[in-house]
Chains A and B, each alone.
Chain A
Amino acid sequence: MATKASRSAARLMMAPAVILLLGWMLVPLIMTLWFSFRKYLPLRGGDLGWTGFDNYVRFVSSSAFWPSVQTTLIIVGGVLLITVCFGVLLALLLDQPMWGQGVVRILVIAPFFVMPTVSALVWKNMFMDPTNGLFAHLFKFFGATPISWMSEASLPSIILIVSWQWLPFATLILLTAIQSLDSEQLEAAEMDGAPVLKRFWFIILPHLSRAMTVVILIQTIFLLSIFAEIFVTTGGAFGTRTLSYLIFQRVLESQNVGLGSAGGVYAIILANIVAIFLMRIVGKNLDA
């Protein structure tokens, strides 16, 4: 179904969305690129001219850079590991026949709908507070000394909070994937005498590999730019400054726009590397 008339109508109707997104992508991108090559300090003299690759070099060579990369990798890696592993287990569990499946599903999914600032604050204060938090009560009950989570175990705390938020996402997608598995395949394997573990390893896991890849890629993109969870808990202190938080601080807190923009360009490149892999998978699915 395509006539010249409908094709030109289609182009016309696609135009608003395409033009808006093109502007949304290009204008800030070009501005960021522009700033990244300039010495730009809005509160201390404003735009002080070209500096070549100075900002790029300074951003990488600053003492905060490598720790922030390390922090980013630990948080992203930790959250991915927890959400994918527990996600698979939970999905397997939820796929089993049980009473009240619908309600359990809702309970498990709920954290995804909690806004990041709320979950960060609730965890920080009501659970991880060293004197009044629930964890502190629990530790005291067992005779242990409560720890000050946000300062002594800041990274694990943030990983825990973020994992709690993203576990429902991983579970839901993996559950959808498991449910699309042809049960005859499993029955055939059962007939062939494959024990439960072997069935999981050789049939379920390979079937899930695609969904797992998608979960990993999408979460990576979102996790690389987590912000609110750090903003309202530690504010970047206690070794929780991720790459994007570092850029945020450079731009808004220390008002060094040139330096921050150079960092932004690094972040964009990093995100695009992940994005390319995700788009390959999505693109392949489009053809099918």
Chain B
Amino acid sequence: MGRITLDKVTKSFGDVEVIPPLDLTIEDGEFTVFVGPSGCGKSTLLRLIAGLEDTTSGHICIDGNDATNVPPAKRGLAMVFQSYALYPHMSVRKNIAFPLRMAKLPQAEIDKRVEAAASVLNLTDYLDRKPGQLSGGQRQRVAIGRAIVREPAAFLFDEPLSNLDAALRVGMRLEISELHKRLETTMIYVTHDQVEAMTMADKIVVLRAGHIEQVGSPLELYKEPRNLFVAGFIGSPRMNLIEGPEAQKYGCHTLGIRPEHIEVSADKGPWSGVVGVSEHLGSDTFFHIQNTGLAETITVRADGEVGFRHGDRVHLTPREDVMHRFGADGLRMA
């Protein structure tokens, strides 16, 4: 079981308040991702849940029990660190067994669980190696193995993939997702990468400067960003934000339209501009259109086959049904 509730939790370092009063509930079995730009307090929040930092005020409950003042060792949570934090002087086997040894489990039980975890994570052949002899992806697996053997109430991941190269990152992303499907244990995952957030999460918590900007499923955040910050943060490439007379035409202060919701053509459309840089990904092409009179550039996603060139004059048609309208206060208008 792993239902975690944060009740008016705050955190200050000296006079600096990094987390203003914050409420959040993470349901049992949920895969929750904390996402936000660096310095938004997402890692601090995770460390508060882990017990590696004290809350300044407020309460943290795990499965209904107040854990605010419980030391990290007694919270029944497991954590995977950004640097993996493997014990370099212990073999893979000993690394994975360490939490069980600390829990004073009988040796036979320890061996059984370590073997089981190793086979799940494809580490059986490496059990007697030292972490220094493993590749980045294998180290990551050992760190996960060390977390799962304890059968914790919840897993905490602190940017676990940021030290891996791009190809491995995609693979590990899938492995962690699969692990979640199989274990059905609560997972809290911190990242600055919104792609990771979108692809893995049941629930995304978007943070900025310690504030929760929005909580919701990936699609909710994509379809109905509550404010300009979330609108700009979720989705790649970023949503186009248009101010001025064009926005007023739609009765808002800022008009948001995602690149994939604009159609580009040579001759027809209400907006027009000149093709600047175009990025060809094969399946898609991103055009950065300049001189539209709407914003500095408008990004448009088109099919990979569409072949406009630098300097071509093009016309744009936004899909009005998926436009996002924001008021002067930055909030989404109904």
Contact = CB atoms under 8 A, between A and B. Distances in A.
- Chains A, B in direct contact (C-beta < 8 Å): yes
Interface of A: 1-5
A243 to B, nearest CB: 47
A5 B52 contact: no
B160 interface: no
A2 B53 contact: yes
A4 B52 CA distance: 10
A101 to B, nearest CB: 28
Interface of B: 51-54, 71
Contacts of A4: 54
A5 B71 contact: yes
B16 to A, nearest CB: 15
11 contacts: A1-B52, A1-B53, A2-B53, A2-B54, A3-B51, A3-B52, A3-B53, A3-B54, A3-B71, A4-B54, A5-B71
Nearest to B72: A3
Most buried by B among A2, A3, A4, A5: A3
A1 to B, nearest CB: 6
Contacts of B52: 1, 3
Contacts of B54: 2-4
Contacts of B51: 3
Given A1-B52, A3-B54, 9 more contacts: A1-B53, A2-B53, A2-B54, A3-B51, A3-B52, A3-B53, A3-B71, A4-B54, A5-B71
Q: Chain A interface secondary structure, helix, strand, loop or mixed?
A: mixed
Contacts of B53: 1-3
A3 B52 CA distance: 7
B77 to A, nearest CB: 15
B257 to A, nearest CB: 44
7 closest A-B pairs by CB: A3-B54, A4-B54, A1-B52, A5-B71, A3-B53, A3-B52, A3-B51
B109 to A, nearest CB: 29
Nearest to B13: A2
A4 B51 CA distance: 11
A12 to B, nearest CB: 15
A2 B11 CA distance: 12
Nearest to B71: A5
A43 B247 CA distance: 101
Contacts of A1: 52-53
A2 B56 CA distance: 12
A2 B14 CA distance: 13
Contacts of A3: 51-54, 71
Nearest to B54: A3
B191 to A, nearest CB: 21
B181 to A, nearest CB: 32
Nearest to B70: A5
A1 B71 CA distance: 12
A5 B71 CA distance: 8
A203 to B, nearest CB: 36
B156 to A, nearest CB: 15
Nearest to A3: B54
A4 B72 CA distance: 12
A141 to B, nearest CB: 60
Nearest to B48: A3
A8 to B, nearest CB: 11
A217 to B, nearest CB: 34
Nearest to A1: B52
Contacts of A5: 71
A4 B54 CA distance: 7
A224 B277 CA distance: 72
A1 B52 CA distance: 6
A2 B52 CA distance: 7
Contacts of A2: 53-54
A2 B48 CA distance: 11
A95 to B, nearest CB: 31
B166 to A, nearest CB: 30
A6 B53 CA distance: 10
A1 B43 CA distance: 12
A2 B71 CA distance: 12
A1 B44 CA distance: 10
B56 to A, nearest CB: 11
A9 to B, nearest CB: 10
A3 B53 CA distance: 5
A7 to B, nearest CB: 9
A5 B53 CA distance: 10
A136 B51 CA distance: 75
A1 B53 CA distance: 6
A243 B71 CA distance: 56
A3 B54 CA distance: 5
B46 to A, nearest CB: 13
Nearest to A4: B54
Nearest to A2: B53
A148 to B, nearest CB: 60
A146 B148 CA distance: 82
A2 to B, nearest CB: 7
A87 B171 CA distance: 56
Nearest to B47: A1
A3 B67 CA distance: 14
Contacts of B71: 3, 5
A10 to B, nearest CB: 14
A119 B220 CA distance: 81
A241 B51 CA distance: 62
B11 to A, nearest CB: 11
A75 to B, nearest CB: 48
A5 B73 CA distance: 12
